[in-house]
């Protein structure tokens, strides 16, 4: 029998092996590789884990997480659900596995909407192959004059000019 790559959505019993794979092949000490509570918060869903796993000879060779908006909604929003891919992580000894995983993802959720935010150049390659429309976002914020102890931003001098724009979403 020929060995083939197996693609599937895993059960909760696979959490630790996915976390170990992320630790080894994504980024050492990434929050998803070391904090079970955070991992479960974003990806645990009833009996399944919102990841696609690729295995070859019973070893994980690639993973990709996905987060449905409906995961955070008390109401049934499946009709308008958006699925957000995340953490595409591949063992570099297996070129092409990322495309197989992403193709599986596209087929699995073919009647859903997809959204992307903050992807890197490697991921951009996949999105372009699958004909995603890619745009740069502009980020704005308003300075809170009641605070001077910012924890995520080094405060700089900014103008108090408020920019008003209207956007039409099709």
Helices 121-129 and 97-108: crossing angle, nearest 10°? 50
* pLDDT score at 157: 58
The domains located in the chain, with CATH, are 6-129 (3.40.630.30)
Closest CA to 85 of 56, 122, 35: 122
**CA-based nearest residue to 52, from 96, 91, 103:** 103
36 touches 79 (CB < 8 A): no
Q: Is the dihedral of CA 8, 104, 53, 86 positive or negative?
A: negative
Question: What does pTM read for this prediction?
Answer: 0.74
> In tens digits, what is the pLDDT along the chain, a chain of 170 residues?
467 999 999 999 999 999 999 999 988 889 999 999 999 999 998 889 999 999 999 999 999 999 988 877 766 555 677 888 888 899 999 999 998 998 999 899 887 788 877 677 777 777 787 787 787 777 776 667 777 666 666 555 555 555 555 444 44
């Amino acid at each position: 029998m020929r060995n083939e790559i197996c693609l599937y959505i895993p059960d909760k019993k696979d959490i630790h092996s996915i976390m170990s794979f992320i630790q080894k092949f994504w980024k050492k000490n990434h929050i998803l590789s070391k904090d079970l509570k955070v991992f479960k918060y974003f990806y645990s869903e009833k009996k399944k884990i919102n990841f696609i796993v690729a295995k070859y000879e019973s070893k994980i060779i690639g993973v990709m997480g996905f987060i449905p908006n409906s995961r955070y909604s008390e109401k049934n929003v499946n009709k308008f659900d958006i699925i957000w891919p995340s953490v595409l992580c591949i063992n570099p000894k297996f070129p092409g596995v990322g495309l197989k995983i992403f193709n599986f993802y596209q087929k699995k959720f073919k009647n859903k909407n997809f959204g992307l935010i903050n992807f890197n150049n490697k991921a951009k390659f996949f999105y372009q192959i699958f004909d995603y429309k890619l745009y740069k976002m502009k980020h704005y914020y308003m300075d809170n004059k009641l605070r001077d102890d910012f924890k995520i931003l080094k405060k700089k001098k900014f103008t108090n000019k408020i920019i008003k724009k209207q956007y039409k979403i099709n």
